[in-house]
């Protein structure tokens, strides 16, 4: 009863007071005169007596006049992040520093209250919405890759795999109409070229026209070319060079410094030429009376040489007719050749196809001729007038037709290389004109396939 009376007396004292107006002795609880605010006068300014029984977040006032809230029965300054919601300035306070979790750490405001607050402006990641119960933004359903959208520049585009709206067409990493592929880069040969076609689909697409570096193949799944294994052109002869022709493959030309058809004895047992700098000295040559071992048998002038008539001066005789022995070469008149011809003699004995001149009226017609000719040898019968190497066969220079070989061109030893082929349906005869396609350097130095309407077939 005393406690109740004391409280009621205090209330009465507050309400009516015994001091007069302006009395300096008027009782004060919160540092100022009594003003009739019972909650504040009973403790709001004295450290929290006003928060007794009040819930966390109730407004109170500190002696300094700073806005405060009740926290666990005490009045404390309000601050974002104290886990207590001050309804005057905050809509939430979860006491952490994690953004986007429903309550923003810097403002103590809800992360969202409407769908519009969650929109990020990217059509390709779906339409964002606000989960109102949690005040959190949640992502939408992404549209399919290739879905229509509008780019940042305001033009029509497509959503790509990177969830970005990019321009439509080749290079946007989306396979569109008319495209084999689209990897979004400009690198050729990586499986998808910069024109959005496969780098290869068949092995033939990878053929570079050079058989020396092997047969290229296409990886059908990755659409990338794989190199072949280079040809090993090494043979067992020290007298031949190990070379590779882009079209023919391995070739082994004789190492013959003077062009007499024999390699030097210095190369080993395979060599029979005792002087590879002199075309008149070789094994089997006619010995002449000059103090030199012409036939490489180790003896000098052991026999008088035989001279054979060579009317065109190509060092090959057509027969044994007119042959004569002697240390000195007979006179030109003694050959019996037309005065307008070269009228010469040779020590090369005509014994087989490789030593006998099949047409002694043209120096270009001779055994082992390697050049091709586009005009017939005048004076010969039509059946052999293009037989320049005396093989009895007119060997054509180009025998491929379009579609029968690779169309690729490439650089080999600094030269433009690739298979030439005729564009007609049949291989033209020797000397005939026909459209032909071959690999040539263009005016800018690029090796490209070029078509000529007047290609002429060469033979030998």
Class of residue 206 by CB neighbours under 10 A (exposed 0-12, middle 13-18, buried 19+): buried
Distance of CA 359 to the CA centre of its chain: 55
pLDDT at 49: 59
Dump strand ranges (E) for 121-242.
Answer: 129-131, 136-138, 148-150, 156-159, 165-167, 217-219, 224-226
* Angle, CA 413 vertex, CA 407 and CA 415 arms, to 5°: 55
The overall average pLDDT reported for the chain is: 87
* pTM: predicted TM-score of the whole model, two decimal places: 0.40
Concatenating the DSSP letter of every residue in 241-309 gives --EEETTTEEE--B--SSSSS--BGGG-TT--BS-TT-TT-STTPPP-SSSS-TTSSS-SS-SPPEEEE
Residue 222, pLDDT > 60, answer yes
Query: In the sheet that 59-61 helps form, which strands lie side by side, from edge to edge?
Result: 59-61, 67-71, 74-77
Residue 36, pLDDT > 80, answer no
Distance of CA 222 to the CA centre of its chain: 13
Residue 162, pLDDT > 90, answer no
* DSSP β-bridge partners for residue 356: 317
Percent of the chain with pLDDT over 70: 89
pLDDT at 17: 34
Instruction: State the pLDDT confidence band at 48, using cuts at 50, 70 and 90.
Output: low
Per-residue pLDDT reduced to its tens digit, 385-407 = 999 999 999 999 999 999 999 99
The more confidently predicted of residues 20 and 450 is 450
The pair phi, psi for residue 240, each rounded to 5°, is -125, 150
Q: What average pLDDT does range 443-451 have in this prediction?
A: 94
Instruction: State the pLDDT confidence band at 219, using cuts at 50, 70 and 90.
Output: very high
- Give CA–CA dist 19/211, Å, rounded: 121
- Give CA–CA dist 5/12, Å, rounded: 10
Tabulate helix, strand, coil % of the chain (nearest 5).
10, 20, 70
Short-list 206, 293, 259, 208, CA closest to 367: 259
How is residue 93 written in tokens?
């306070």
Concatenating the DSSP letter of every residue in 335-382 gives G---TTS--EEE-----STTTB-S-TT-TT--TT----BSS--TTS-T
How is residue 181 written in tokens?
């592929």
Residue 41, pLDDT > 60, answer no
- Give CA–CA dist 329/332, Å, rounded: 9
pLDDT at 20: 34
pLDDT at 22: 35
pLDDT at 40: 39
Instruction: State the pLDDT confidence band at 375, using cuts at 50, 70 and 90.
Output: very high
Instruction: State the pLDDT confidence band at 171, using cuts at 50, 70 and 90.
Output: confident
Phi-psi sector, 38: left (phi>0), alpha (psi -120 to 50), beta: alpha
pLDDT at 39: 37
Look up tokens 């928060």; give the residue.
Answer: 51
Short-list 38, 29, 34, CA closest to 18: 34
Residue 276, pLDDT > 60, answer yes
Per-residue pLDDT reduced to its tens digit, 224-271 = 999 999 999 999 999 999 999 999 899 999 999 999 999 999 999 999
CB atoms within 10 A of CB 271: 21
- The alpha carbon dihedral of 313, 317, 318, 323 has a sign of positive
- Give CA–CA dist 51/386, Å, rounded: 122
How is residue 198 written in tokens?
């496969």
Under DSSP, is residue 206 helix (H, G, I), strand (E, B) or coil?
Answer: helix
- Give CA–CA dist 252/235, Å, rounded: 8
């Amino acid at each position: 009863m005393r406690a109740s009376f004391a409280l009621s007396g205090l209330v009465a004292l507050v309400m009516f007071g015994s001091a007069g107006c302006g009395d300096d002795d008027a009782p004060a609880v919160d540092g100022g005169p009594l003003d009739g605010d019972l909650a504040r006068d009973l403790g709001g300014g004295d450290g929290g007596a006003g928060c007794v029984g009040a819930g966390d977040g109730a407004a109170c006032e500190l002696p300094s006049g700073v806005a405060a809230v009740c926290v666990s029965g005490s009045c404390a300054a309000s601050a974002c992040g104290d886990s207590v919601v001050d309804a005057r300035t905050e809509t939430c306070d979860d006491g952490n520093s994690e953004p986007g979790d429903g309550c923003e750490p810097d403002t103590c405001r809800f992360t969202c209250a409407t769908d519009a607050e969650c929109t990020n402006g990217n059509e390709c990641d779906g339409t964002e919405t606000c989960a109102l119960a949690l005040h959190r933004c949640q992502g939408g359903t992404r549209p399919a890759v290739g879905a229509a959208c509008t780019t940042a520049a305001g033009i029509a585009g497509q959503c790509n795999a990177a969830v970005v709206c990019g321009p439509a067409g080749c290079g946007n990493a989306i396979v569109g109409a008319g495209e084999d592929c689209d990897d979004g880069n400009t690198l050729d040969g990586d499986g998808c070229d910069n024109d959005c076609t496969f780098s290869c689909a068949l092995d033939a697409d990878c053929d570079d026209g050079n058989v020396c570096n092997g047969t290229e193949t296409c990886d059908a799944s990755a659409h990338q070319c794989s190199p072949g294994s280079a040809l090993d052109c090494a043979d067992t002869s020290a007298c031949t060079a190990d070379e590779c022709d882009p079209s023919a493959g391995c070739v082994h030309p004789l190492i013959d410094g003077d062009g007499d058809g024999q390699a030097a004895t210095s190369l080993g047992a395979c060599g029979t030429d005792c002087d590879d700098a002199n075309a008149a000295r070789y094994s089997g040559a006619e010995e002449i009376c000059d103090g030199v071992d012409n036939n490489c048998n180790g003896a000098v002038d052991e026999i008088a040489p035989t001279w054979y008539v060579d009317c065109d001066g190509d060092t090959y005789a057509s027969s044994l007719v007119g042959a004569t022995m002697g240390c000195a070469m007979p006179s030109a008149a003694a050959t019996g050749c037309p005065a307008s011809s070269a009228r010469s003699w040779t020590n090369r004995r005509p014994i087989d196809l490789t030593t006998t001149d099949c047409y002694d009226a043209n120096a270009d017609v001779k055994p082992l001729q390697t050049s091709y000719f586009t005009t017939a040898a005048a004076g010969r019968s039509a059946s052999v007038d293009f037989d320049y190497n005396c093989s009895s066969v007119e060997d054509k220079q180009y025998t491929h037709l379009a579609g029968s070989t690779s169309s690729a061109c490439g650089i080999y030893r600094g030269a433009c290389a690739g298979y030439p082929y005729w564009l007609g349906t049949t291989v033209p005869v020797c000397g005939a004109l026909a459209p032909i396609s071959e690999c040539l350097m263009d005016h800018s130095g690029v090796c490209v396939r070029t078509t000529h309407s007047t290609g002429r077939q060469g033979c030998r």
